[in-house]
Amino acid sequence: MAEERIYEEFEHYLTPPSWKDRVWEIEEYKAFYEETIKDKENLEKWWAKWANELPWFKKWNKVLDDSNPPFYRWFVGGETNLAYLCLDRHIEEGRKNQLALIWEGEPWDEMIRRPKEIRKFTYYDLYRRSNRIAYALKEKLGVKRGEILTFYLPMIPELPLYMLAVQRLGAKHSIVYSGFSAFALAQRAMAAGSRIIVTADALYRNGKIIPLKEIVDEAIEICEEKGHKIEHVIMVKRTNRAAIPWIKKRDIWHHEFIRYISENARIEPVKLGSEDMSYILYTSGTTGAPKGAQHSIGGYAVGLYTTMKLIFDIKETDIYWCAADIGWVTGHSYIVYGPLITGTTTLMYEGAPTYPGPDRWWNIIERYGVNVFYTSPTAIRMLMKFPLDYVKKHDLSTIRIFHSVGEPINPEAFRWYYKNIGKENIVASSTWWMTETGQMLTGHFPGLGKIFPLKPGTNGYPLPGVKMEVLDEDGNPCKPGERGYFVITNPWPGMFMTLYQDDQRYIDVYWSKFSKDNKWRFYTGDFAVKDQDGYLWVLGRADDVLNIAGHRVGTAEVESAMVMHPAVAEAACVGKPHEIKGEVAFVFTVLKQGFVPSDELVGELRNHLRKTIGPIVASDATILLVDMVPKTRSGKIMRRLLKAVITGQKLGDVTTLEDESAIKEAEKAYEYLK
Ligand code: WT7
């Protein structure tokens, strides 16, 4: 997809008519931007300005402490709490009746052509409910400041309520996406040292009920085998499914859990240091073990607040919809914490975009009058396949801002939504960021009151205050238009603080490749291009990480899952381009002696992938059985060659290859598969 990008051609610039009198000359914008990153003083001034718009229990005495890089500390000495910023302060400031959260369930009533369930919460509602949960957690289970709870919850209001409840207590959460497998859940719950898991009986997806409790039970068994005890499972009742497995004393329904707690129960939000931890979120890397990105409180809040204002130009009167899952960082930052900090109304939709028909999303936008919309390129590519009538029958005129995230947006998909959803009069851009950055770091900034011209497919400019470079292998800046490694050369407030309990890995993975001469540079793992105007174009991962429908999956993770199966001797995973999902997994698999290749076995292996990693990887994965995989003489799998085989590209340098017949075989097997 990257190939069709056209970063040079001016004729592709777009300006929405309603912004026509508010367009920067690019030089003028550049000057504004450069000023914010000129030196440390300006940088601190820029961020302090935003931090000053938020209330603090105690104000910071230092904006940025960079005395121990790459361990940066933001708003040092400041005291705050995310629950306080999201709820209490709005109530103190007289906004208790403002609508905070609209939740729409998936089930649909065809008779009245409306969703069966809608729940609306004012800021006061969220405040009261999360207080009650916090009280129950503290009094009944003894949850204390610093403890990490694992959440394995679908897109229901109890998820943000529990998030806000633990923030009040100064406890932390580790959320595991509800599409992950028992194995992945167990791995993460153990790594976080959780003794409590909060989950639901099941979830709705595409009209079906998908059980969750059984997966949790299986995960707990895995934990117990490894000597880790999960003491309590709190379960929200989402569906009416019967015969839910139950372990007395350990399992409790959420509604029973809070039943005898007064609705007026209150817990004062704990005054936490700005640099304390708010949560960890596990993400994939190039080795098997997931990395726990550890986020801060004060800096994180400032990063979110600033980007909500600048990139989404958010107003309290807006209906704001980020159509992601809270299980990913996008949902943490931009369904829950970001919008609530700004006091807007955040919309949360439970189910699939195409249930009960391909226009469910357009229907939602119309019914609530969504003003600001945030979604992924994969979703757009999927929805643009359906006849345009599904779009046309809905009034989408309320939308003024529409951004995407998760993977590169191909210009075709951009043009499609710019024209058909945005009626060529919206601000739209692809906002680049990652789990580790906590906040968006590139895009367009209508919140500044002026925009620079839009270009289909670009990631726009780095956020003011954020310095980004595209470097070659030796760490020298690439020329405009040249592809290189994407790095960030100064710290930013929303950044993760470290990898949970693994400072060394934090340094090794992110800060080793390009830091030198006492200059610290954060390596993103992406390839990018900077064009002649300074716009960025992120092209995709430069390392052994796949991006499947905007979800990061390490090839090593897939491979180690595969070899857990008794029939598998070895596996090599590469990404195969996919029209809708961007990329899907392609796994060259070598069987152990004595196992006979068959379609049945391939089916079993796919099932195994589903159970060990989850459906994200398994659904469109290809498993190809081969006798060997190509390796270097030192025994490293040459994924680059396998990728060339399945994408029909030239093999390139094969001198380090140990046994050439491996590649011949891969080619033959792939031909046969086609
Ligand atoms: C990786 C991070 C934080 C959003 C969800 C993904 C890719 C993310 C873009 C974009 C091109 C993007 C990068 C990045 N990515 N946004 N707008 N354009 N690529 O978070 O799972 O931490 O993955 O997603 O490759 O490194 P994540």
ipTM over 0.90: yes
379/356 Cα distance (integer angstroms): 16
Angle, alpha carbons 328-331-336 (nearest 5°):
140
DSSP code at position 437: G
197/222 Cα distance (integer angstroms): 14
What per-residue confidence (pLDDT) applies to 12? 65
Mention every residue, 6+ apart, whose C-beta is less than 8 A from residue 646.
Answer: 574, 576, 586, 670
- Ligand 1 geometric centre to CA of 26 (Å): 26
- Residue nearest ligand 1's atom 1 by CA: 434
The 10 Å CB-count burial string (b at 16+, else e) for 545-584 is bbbbbbbbbbbbbbbbbbeebebbebbbbbbbebebbbbb
Q: Indicate the pLDDT class of residue 94, thresholds 50, 70 and 90.
A: very high
pLDDT in tens, 113-135: 999 999 999 999 999 999 999 99
- Ligand 1 geometric centre to CA of 440 (Å): 10
What tokens were used for 66?
A: 């960079």
81/93 Cα distance (integer angstroms): 16
Taking the C-alpha atoms of 419, 421, 425 and 429 in order, what is their torsion angle to the nearest 10 degrees? -90
Query: Of the ranges 51-60, 515-524, 643-652, which is most confident?
Result: 51-60
What per-residue confidence (pLDDT) applies to 632? 84
pLDDT, mean of residues 342-361: 98
Least confident of 46-60, 215-229, 360-374, 545-559: 545-559
- Ligand 1 geometric centre to CA of 657 (Å): 32
Residue in 338, 266, 261 with CA at minimum distance from that of residue 91 = 266
What per-residue confidence (pLDDT) applies to 3? 42
pLDDT, mean of residues 146-160: 98
- Cβ–Cβ under 8 Å, residues 274 and 75: yes
- Ligand 1 geometric centre to CA of 188 (Å): 21
Percent of the chain with pLDDT over 90: 86
pLDDT, mean of residues 409-419: 93
74/439 Cα distance (integer angstroms): 14
Conformational region of residue 243, where left means phi above 0, alpha means psi within -120 to 50, and beta covers everything else: left
Q: Indicate the pLDDT class of residue 4, thresholds 50, 70 and 90.
A: very low
Count how many Cα atoms sit within 13 Å of the Cα of residue 45 in the half-sphere of its side chain: 8
Conformational region of residue 624, where left means phi above 0, alpha means psi within -120 to 50, and beta covers everything else: beta
- Residue nearest ligand 1's atom 21 by CA: 552
Cβ atoms within 10 Å of 348's Cβ, excluding its own: 26
Least confident of 53-62, 103-112, 647-656: 647-656
- Residue nearest ligand 1's atom 14 by CA: 434
- Ligand 1 geometric centre to CA of 116 (Å): 34
- Residue nearest ligand 1's atom 24 by CA: 406
Conformational region of residue 318, where left means phi above 0, alpha means psi within -120 to 50, and beta covers everything else: beta
- Cβ–Cβ under 8 Å, residues 504 and 485: no
- Cβ–Cβ under 8 Å, residues 202 and 239: yes
Count how many Cα atoms sit within 13 Å of the Cα of residue 67 in the half-sphere of its side chain: 4
Residue 308 exposed, middle or buried by CB count within 10 Å (0-12, 13-18, 19+): buried
Angle, alpha carbons 544-548-550 (nearest 5°):
105
- Ligand 1 geometric centre to CA of 469 (Å): 17
Q: Indicate the pLDDT class of residue 636, thresholds 50, 70 and 90.
A: confident
- pLDDT above 50 for 517: yes
Residue 475 exposed, middle or buried by CB count within 10 Å (0-12, 13-18, 19+): middle
Q: Which atom of ligand 1 is nearest to the CA of 437?
A: 3
pLDDT, mean of residues 464-490: 96
Sign (positive/negative) of CA torsion 505, 509, 515, 521?
negative
Q: Which atom of ligand 1 is nearest to the CA of 404?
A: 17
- Ligand 1 geometric centre to CA of 405 (Å): 7
Q: Which residues line ligand 1 (CB under 6 A)?
A: 283, 328-330, 405-408, 430-435, 459, 524-526, 538, 540-541, 547, 550, 552
310/429 Cα distance (integer angstroms): 13
Cβ atoms within 10 Å of 533's Cβ, excluding its own: 19
Q: Which atom of ligand 1 is nearest to the CA of 409?
A: 18
48/42 Cα distance (integer angstroms): 10
* Element spanning 664, H or E: helix 661-673
Measured in residues, the chain has a length of: 674
The radius of gyration of the chain's CA atoms, rounded to the nearest angstrom, is: 25
- Residue nearest ligand 1's atom 27 by CA: 434
Q: Which atom of ligand 1 is nearest to the CA of 436?
A: 22
pLDDT, mean of residues 629-655: 87
Mention every residue, 6+ apart, whose C-beta is less than 8 A from residue 10.
Answer: none
* Ligand 1 site-directed mutation target among 291, 434, 499, 545, most atoms within 8 Å of CB: 434
pLDDT, mean of residues 493-502: 98
- Residue nearest ligand 1's atom 19 by CA: 407
pLDDT, mean of residues 246-251: 96
